[in-house]
Amino acid sequence: MSGFVAFLEEKFVPIAAKIGGQKHLLAIRDAFAGLMPLVLVGSMAVLLNNVFFVPWSLLAGFIGGEHPFIVWANTNLAPLFSIMDSGTLSILALGLVFSVGYNRAMYEKQDALSTSLINVAAFILLGALSRNNPDVASWVGNFLAAQGIFVALIVGLITPEIYFWVVRKNWVIKMPDSVPPAVSRGFSAVIPGFIAVFVWALVAYLFNVLAGASIFTWFETTIAGSLMSLGQNIFSIVLVSTLIPLLWFFGLHGANMLEAFMSPVYGTLGLMNIELYKNGITTVGSGANELAVWVRGSWDAYVFAGGSGATIALIIAILVASKRKQDREIAKLALPPGIFMINEPILFGLPVVLNPIYFIPFILVQPVLTLVAYFATVAGIAGPIVNSVPWTTPPVLNAFLATNGSIGAAFISLINIVIAFFIFLPFVYIANKQKD
């Protein structure tokens, strides 16, 4: 293994560092991370409605949709939380275009506020406020939320390039030192902003003339569907599930390298599921107006039990079967953080990373659990992910909440831990044969 590690260090790490440090990919990663407050606040409001207050809520499933409390809550409380949603989850693409601009400017040491505002201007003028699609999510009248994410990314990345190019040419209005900095900055942004906005106005005009639709509508009807289908392909899902532990095992930062792909595709699918579900859609499939089988939260709910590699199962296997005192001590210490999906103590403490004994189970476990959960969801045994819950939510509970109370989902999450336990168990016995 040392030869392979040397190869990784010499050949692969520099490439991985270039990918991980690429400023546009970093901006995408950090922009999605920056949306976290909006996502969690909005999700909490939707979760409360889905669990307690609407006629199709979890509670209504137990006491009946006609129960006086549900009728009262649906009239008096659900609208209140829907209003919270309208300012959070329902404007995520708008937030993203601002956030991408902000992060691009920060990485390039440019004026972040002006860049972000020009990004928003470009996004809106392209037609974000008007949507009319009778086939897919017909109730959504704009592209400010999940339907506008991909265009938000494109606009969010290109607009700053135009803006920075003009700034670097020094085509900016310079004010005397006596002018307050905020005013001076505003004037400096006028020419770069005008050129960037003009370019996008031209794009909007050309799309209207040549395609007879806005870039949003064109993108939604031609490209977005294919991207989403690629994301729902079982091979793509299993590939991601395999790559994540493989990168971690060899000491590479899997999240940094995959995040710029994971968030736009699987994060967007997750947001679309939330939106579909709150509009009463419960069928799973690949068609229009159907819930996606696999979204970002599916990994947290079904696969990352205790962290990447389902390491809570490894901790349990060690506590049950290990005769190595040191390993048992580490497992005891790693259990509390593992319950909340933090697994550095076991990955580095045991260690799992670069440990030949645990290579096979650590790489194998995620694809297996993914396949079980994927087909259980397709078969209708486990509910699809329709809520966003924090990734630190303990296993099983995570699946239960993220699927709005699907008992089948909680069961599959538990079954997956049992499967992972039996995948790790033989290797714990092999480790027993090693000297302390």
Partner 1 sequence: MILVNAPLKRDYIKSLIDQQTIEGITFSFEKQEGMKLYFNHDGDKVLAQSIVKKTIKSSEFGTALFFNVEIV
Contact pattern from residue 33 through residue 72 relative to partner 1, giving x for each residue in contact according to CB under 8 A and a dash for the rest: ----------------------------------------
Cβ contacts of residue 370 below 8 Å, gap of 6+?
A: 237, 238, 241, 299, 302, 303
Give min distance, CB of 369 to partner 1, in A. Answer: 21
Give min distance, CB of 134 to partner 1, in A. Answer: 44
Give min distance, CB of 241 to partner 1, in A. Answer: 17
Residue 344 lies near partner 1 (rule: CB under 8 A): yes
The residue among 21, 263, 27, 20 whose CA lies nearest residue 157 is 27
Q: What are phi and psi of 284, to 5 degrees?
A: -105, 140
**CB 366, CB 309: distance < 8 Å:** yes
Residue 13 lies near partner 1 (rule: CB under 8 A): yes
Q: Give me 55's structure tokens.
A: 């006629």
Give min distance, CB of 345 to partner 1, in A. Answer: 9
Given 4, 11, 19, 141, the residue binding partner 1 (CB under 8 A): 19
Ranges of beta strands (E only) in 12-95 are none
Given 56, 218, 348, 411, the residue binding partner 1 (CB under 8 A): 348
Applying the rule CB under 8 A, the residues between 354 and 383 that interact with partner 1 are 354
- Cβ closest to partner 1, residue 11 vs residue 174: 11
Give min distance, CB of 299 to partner 1, in A. Answer: 17
Residue 26 lies near partner 1 (rule: CB under 8 A): yes
Residue 251 lies near partner 1 (rule: CB under 8 A): yes
SS3 133: coil
The residue among 36, 164, 161, 158 whose CA lies nearest residue 95 is 36
- Cβ closest to partner 1, residue 114 vs residue 263: 263
- Cβ closest to partner 1, residue 259 vs residue 275: 259
Given 5, 33, 80, 202, the residue binding partner 1 (CB under 8 A): 5
- Establish how many alpha carbons lie within 13 A of residue 139's alpha carbon, considering only the half-sphere containing its beta carbon: 10
Stretch near partner 1 under the rule CB under 8 A, chosen from 2-10, 169-177, 227-235, 388-396: 2-10
Cβ contacts of residue 226 below 8 Å, gap of 6+?
A: none
Tokens 């001590």 appear where?
329
Given 11, 21, 33, 422, the residue binding partner 1 (CB under 8 A): 21
Give min distance, CB of 411 to partner 1, in A. Answer: 32
Given 197, 213, 252, 378, the residue binding partner 1 (CB under 8 A): 252
**CB 398, CB 315: distance < 8 Å:** no
- Cβ closest to partner 1, residue 221 vs residue 256: 256
**CB 188, CB 174: distance < 8 Å:** yes
Size of the site for partner 1 (CB under 8 A): 25
Given 44, 247, 314, 341, the residue binding partner 1 (CB under 8 A): 247
Residue 307 lies near partner 1 (rule: CB under 8 A): no
**CB 185, CB 114: distance < 8 Å:** yes
CB burial of residue 287 (10 Å; 0-12, 13-18, 19+)? exposed
Give buried/exposed letters for 99-108 (b at 16+ CB in 10 A, else e): bbbbbbbbeb
**CB 378, CB 284: distance < 8 Å:** yes
Residue 11 lies near partner 1 (rule: CB under 8 A): no
The residue among 96, 125, 130 whose CA lies nearest residue 193 is 125
Q: Counting every residue, how long is the chain?
A: 436
Residue 95 lies near partner 1 (rule: CB under 8 A): no
Residue 285 lies near partner 1 (rule: CB under 8 A): no
Instruction: Compute the distance between CA of residue 184 and CA of residue 205 in angstroms, rounded to an integer.
Output: 32
Residue 353 lies near partner 1 (rule: CB under 8 A): yes
The residue ranges that bind partner 1 (CB under 8 A) are 5, 8-9, 13-14, 16-17, 19-21, 26, 247-248, 250-254, 256-257, 344, 348, 351, 353-354
